[in-house]
Chains A and B, each alone.
Chain A
Amino acid sequence: MIPELGNFSLIVGLAFAICLSVIPLVGASSNNLTLVRYARPLTFGVFLFTLISYLLLTSSFVSDDFSVLYVAQNSNSHLPIQYKFAAVFGGHEGSLLLWVLMLTTWASALAVSSLKLDEAFVARVLAVLGMIIVGFMLFTLLTSNPFERLLPNFPAEGRDLNPLLQDIGLIVHPPMLYLGWSGFSVAFAFAIAALMTGRMDAAWARWTRPWTLAAWSFLSIGITLGSWWAYYELGWGGWWFWDPVENASFMPWIVGTALIHALSVTEQRGAFRNWTILLAISAFSLSLLGTFLVRSGVINSVHSFASDPGRGMFILMLLGTAVIGSLTLFAFKASQLKSTSKFELYSKETFILAGNIALVVATATVLLGTLYPLLVDALNMGKISVGPPYYNAVFNPIVAVMAVMMGVAPIIRWKKNKAGTFRKELGLVALASIVFGIAFPFVYGGEFITWVAVGMGLAFWLITATLKNAKTTVTNAQGKIDLSRPNQSYWGMVVSHLGIATAIIGATMVSFYETQLDIRMDVGSKVTLSGYEFAFDGMKDVEGPNYTAKQGQFRVFQDGQQITLLQPERRIYRVQTMGMTEAGIDSTLTRDLFVALGDPLDNEAWAVRVYVKPFINLLWIAGALVAFGGFICMGDRRYRAKKVAETEQQTIETVAARV
């Protein structure tokens, strides 16, 4: 009964969504305020019924209802309860329902908080969101329904959740990712509404930016969590593989970064309007493309869901409709919205535009690499692989260019900057960065490594330039510190930019200075790596809730003192009888000590892999900083001011009417 109710609830939600896609748009086009006013209640209706549907699916999991096919495939009565909750979105069908739920959540949040905005405009935005929701709901209901039943012969037990997924990473990583991906739909909808109404002023950018910042920040967290999870869970110490699915999550993020900066320019200077709209369309389009790549079976990845060309076709149609529709609208309606504000060559606008272009070049590059094997295969030219060696070669130079620009841009004025500013403010910093960069690999590792010099030099540059600019910004004309001077967005920028610098440090250090040892260890033996001594004391048998494991006991010494006990495991899960390895990790700011068990050898010896990974935790801290900066920006007063907005609205409308 419950699953049928869940299915029914989703269908009701679909009905609401269809109404939402049509009625407010009709109302907005015909100036019918009554119809326009339906937008918000319809949005809440969609949200409510989607939520009910999701909760009912969850209850099927929690109550071990294995008559539901999806539950039988992804759960088990011995599965710990928190993973039952996570298993709801652990498979393709359920994760789609989560996508829909996220979309409706964003739409509802918009409906609730946009009471100050122009009603007809908001109605259009919600209608576009409604269309997207309709697309995803149809996809779920028609090809990937999680409520399908296994009657009359259903199993007494489920197949259990994949052991690799039975981890806290599963509980947090996908929801954050989906929040980010689906969140870009808001910017997309705003862009479509702007194109429809021909209305794209600074106010439009101001409305759009906080939503984009929110989505982008969640996506930043999601990507960071994914990277961290892969690192400690897969047991082989990697944290980014340029796997097509990873790229699918990264590309919207890069474009999202360009978008939030472009929105800033449109908001403050009225420039780049067409460009910003195109970026807003692209960010969400890339989210959809990512969904396609992951679920259609078109690319080869450990992350992809079980694929089905039928589903792939549906998503392609969804992707096609959204993108072709929006880009056609763009092609016809964009030129009406020409920017009126001008800027010189040496101006902040130029720097931000240059940064935007670099980010788009980066996205295009990642997209090219990801799709190239498909291209080659489709043209019958064989099968090739494109992996980390390619991406690192083409991507890192772009990051380098960006890091340089990020240091300079904050000191450059809008519209027209005086000559000589760079030399005066940052000339010394630039010099110091070069010296630091060159010296670093000698001091740290005793030999020169080009990319280490580049990476550390850039990080030094970015941190110093950012902090120096911060100090200048808070110092008032009398030379005293005045923290109220810069607005909140400025601090957000500082935090995020420092986060990027941190990521550069972490990536550079761990890539070039990590050490690894694959070695046979007998009980009682010791190995040394990078100044740490690892002593193998033997194995212990351990029982988990749904697995048994052999747990290794490794004492780690530094300078003769024991600093930690690492306990890596080889687990056998009872249901899927799949073996799995859990690494033993000791983390500090400056390094991770990482031990993973290989196979048992003769004589109670084991094959063991030992890593020392310097500064790897900076990567996760960096992700947190970047996201945190985004949230800080979002909280800026100018996005929250309510009453002011109304009068501002009226003034703008009056002025616009005059001109």
Chain B
Amino acid sequence: MKPLVSMLLGLLIVLSGNAIASSVETYQFSKSEYEVRFQDLNKILRCPKCQNQNLADSNSMISQDLRREVFRLMEEGRSDDQIIEFMVMRYGDFVLYKPKFDGVTYFLWLGPIGFGALGLLILGTVVFRQRNKRNAVITADESSGEHLSSDEQAKLDRILKRDSD
């Protein structure tokens, strides 16, 4: 199986020569689940020299090589994590689109949770605080004695009615 694939790949490389390479490769997988894993991995691995493309979309030479490696490692029976480690060991964390959870990225992963918590806090504070103020304000209004004349009140009511839902 493998020699045949290598031959096909070899032909692919030789023939594509100066033609613009594409990111479509015709690997034959020994297990169908490998193909799905292959496609998924190519989406989360980054092309090391492109301007923000994953391995699946890039047609650069290095991406072709890396896809070939992913295929080879997959066929060897390695797990997804092992394949990712293989790439990271050679190209660094840069090549991973899903950031690891380590000292550098704590803030990245926990940040959204923090924002959410902060948001809830703000929501609670705003809603409850203005509820309490309400009672205080009513008292103040009643005592200050500012009123609109009945004419003005009627005009205001007309206008407000026009604007409500």
Contacts and interface: CB of A to CB of B under 8 A. Distances in A.
Contacts of B22: 581, 597-599, 607
Given A357-B119, A394-B112, A600-B19, A302 B44 contact: no
Contact of B15 (A301, A304, A602): A602
Interface string A387-408: 1111000100010000000000
Interface string B37-74: 00100011010001111101100000000000000000
B60 to A, nearest CB: 12
B51 A385 contact: no
Contact of A368 (B11, B12, B111, B120): B111
B97 A387 contact: yes
B1 interface: no
A590 interface: no
A300 interface: yes
Contacts of B128: 345
Contacts of B52: 241, 243-244, 300-302
B23 A385 contact: no
Interface string A360-389: 110011001100100010000111111111
B146 interface: yes
Contacts of A342: 130-131, 133-134, 137
Interface in A559-583: 578-581
Contacts of B80: none
A372 B51 contact: no
A238 interface: yes
B30 to A, nearest CB: 16
Interface in B65-106: 92-100, 104-105
A129 B98 CA distance: 41
Interface stretch (A63-71, A212-220, A648-656): A648-656
A384 B21 contact: no
B164 interface: yes
B162 interface: yes
A384 B56 contact: no
B146 A658 contact: yes
A597 B22 CA distance: 8
A85 interface: no
Contact of A638 (B20, B148, B152, B162): B162
A609 interface: yes
Contact of A384 (B23, B44, B94, B165): B94
Contacts of A600: 15, 19
Given A386-B99, A607-B26, A368 B152 contact: no
Interface residues of A, number: 74
Nearest to A350: B127
Nearest to B102: A384
A589 interface: no
B97 A386 contact: yes
Contacts of A487: 165
Given A236-B23, A372-B108, A518-B27, A384 B99 contact: yes
Nearest to B98: A389
Contacts of B94: 382-385
B123 A385 contact: no
A549 to B, nearest CB: 12
B108 A368 contact: yes
A294 to B, nearest CB: 12
Contacts, number: 175
A236 B126 contact: no
Contacts of B20: 578-580
Residue among B12, B116, B118, B133 with the highest chain A CB neighbour number at 10 A = B116
Nearest to A347: B127
Nearest to B24: A598
A519 interface: yes
A655 B156 contact: yes
A122 interface: no
A579 B163 CA distance: 59
A523 interface: no
Contacts of A350: 123, 127
Interface in A212-264: 234, 236, 238, 241, 243-244
A123 to B, nearest CB: 25
A483 to B, nearest CB: 15
Residue among B25, B39, B131 with the highest chain A CB neighbour number at 10 A = B25
Nearest to B54: A387
B155 interface: yes
Contacts of A439: none
A343 B132 CA distance: 10
A390 B163 contact: no
A552 to B, nearest CB: 12
Contacts of A607: 12, 22, 24-26
Contact of A353 (B92, B98, B127): B127
Given A243-B52, A342-B131, A599 B93 contact: no
Given A364-B115, A368-B108, A344 B93 contact: no
A24 to B, nearest CB: 29
A513 to B, nearest CB: 13
A384 B104 contact: yes
Given A236-B56, A599-B22, A388 B97 contact: yes
Interface string B7-23: 01001100110011111
Contacts of A354: 123
Nearest to B153: A655
A132 to B, nearest CB: 29
B24 to A, nearest CB: 3
B24 A596 contact: yes
A614 B39 CA distance: 18
Given A361-B115, A386-B97, A607-B25, A268 B159 contact: no
A654 B53 CA distance: 61
A156 B23 CA distance: 35
A599 B24 contact: yes
A468 interface: no
Contacts of A244: 52
Nearest to B50: A302
7 contacts: A302-B52, A361-B116, A383-B92, A384-B99, A385-B93, A490-B165, A648-B159
Given A385-B95, A601-B12, 5 more contacts: A350-B127, A385-B96, A388-B97, A518-B25, A597-B24
A-B residue pairs, 8 tightest by C-beta = A598-B24, A387-B97, A579-B20, A389-B98, A520-B26, A342-B134, A598-B22, A357-B119
